[in-house]
């Protein structure tokens, strides 16, 4: 007699938990309803970019997915991405550092993972003015053309010798 009551309580708890996790915040973009615990992982079967493309045709160019405990926002349109990154860059720039970047302490030496503060703004300004300015890019044009020619020659030699092309 105790087992059916316990089973009913567990089932009721799972149903309540499922429906409470399906309710999305008003601030999140639309997206498919997640399954309990695993979220939307089963909707990303096969080739992931094709699955995301199919989902974006249903939910639009900006959608939210739940992968386990993590909620992610997927942007599948260049116009929407440009708007997000230009107008709301501070909201999206404070993302956590992934474990892969922390493994060899790459996050400590990269401008990508710096928190948004004065140092990050100074580095971004320095990159824009010194590294990626049109004068600097024009000055290195000869070197870039030489490297492209070397790559083309390498690929051609690999094709003649019927070898794999290891561009990495």
Is residue 104 included in any domain, yes or no? no
Residues composing the chain: 168
Indicate whether 82 and 162 sit together in one domain.
Answer: no
Q: What is the DSSP string of 111-160?
A: SSS--SSHHHHHHHHHIIIIISSHHHHHHTHHHHHHHHHHHHHHHHHHHH
pLDDT tens profile 14-37? 777 666 655 555 578 888 888 878
The count of structural domains within the chain is 2
Confirm whether 103 is domain-assigned: no
Residues 28, 67 share a domain: yes
2 and 81 part of one domain = yes
In a domain, 99, yes or no: no
The answer to the question of residue 36 being in a domain is yes
138 and 84 share a domain? no
Higher pLDDT, 146 or 48: 146
Q: How confident is the model at residue 146, as a pLDDT?
A: 95
Band of residue 160 on the pLDDT scale cut at 50, 70, 90: very high
- How confident is the model over 73-131, as pLDDT tens digits? 889 888 888 888 787 766 666 667 778 878 877 777 777 777 777 777 788 788 888 88
Q: Are 73 and 136 in the same domain? A: no
Quick one: 76 and 25 in the same domain? yes
Tell whether 87 and 52 lie within a shared domain. yes
In a domain, 123, yes or no: yes
- pLDDT at residue 27, as a whole number: 79
84 vs 26: CA distance, rounded Å:
18
Q: Which of 67, 93, 119 corresponds to the end of one domain?
A: 93
Contact 64, 96 (CB under 8 A): no
Domain boundary among 59, 93, 127: 93
Residue range 43-54: mean pLDDT, rounded:
87
Q: What range does the domain containing 83 cover?
A: 1-93
- Is 162 among the domain residues? yes
Could you give the percent of the chain with pLDDT greater than 90? 12
Residue 143's pLDDT band (cuts 50, 70, 90): very high
Task: List b or e across 112-123, with b for residues whose CB sees 16 or more CB atoms inside 10 angstroms.
Answer: ebbeeeeeeeee
CA 142 to chain centre: 34
65: Cβ–Cβ under 8 A, 6 or more apart, which residues? 31, 32, 34, 39, 40, 43, 44, 55, 71, 72, 74
């Amino acid at each position: 007699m105790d087992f059916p009551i316990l089973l009913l309580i567990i089932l009721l708890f799972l149903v309540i938990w499922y429906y409470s996790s399906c309710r999305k915040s008003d601030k999140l973009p639309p997206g498919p309803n997640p399954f309990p615990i695993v979220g939307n992982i089963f909707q990303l079967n096969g080739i992931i970019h094709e699955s995301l493309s199919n989902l974006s045709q249903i939910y639009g160019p900006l959608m939210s997915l739940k992968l386990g405990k993590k909620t992610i926002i997927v942007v599948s349109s260049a116009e929407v991405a440009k708007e997000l990154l230009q107008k709301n860059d501070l909201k999206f720039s404070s993302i956590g550092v992934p474990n892969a970047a922390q493994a060899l302490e790459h996050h400590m030496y990269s401008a990508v993972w710096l928190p948004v503060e004065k140092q990050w703004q100074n580095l971004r300004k320095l990159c824009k003015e010194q590294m990626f300015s049109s004068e600097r890019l024009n000055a290195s044009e000869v070197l870039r053309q030489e490297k492209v020619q070397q790559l083309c020659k390498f690929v051609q030699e690999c094709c003649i010798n019927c070898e794999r092309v290891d561009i990495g």
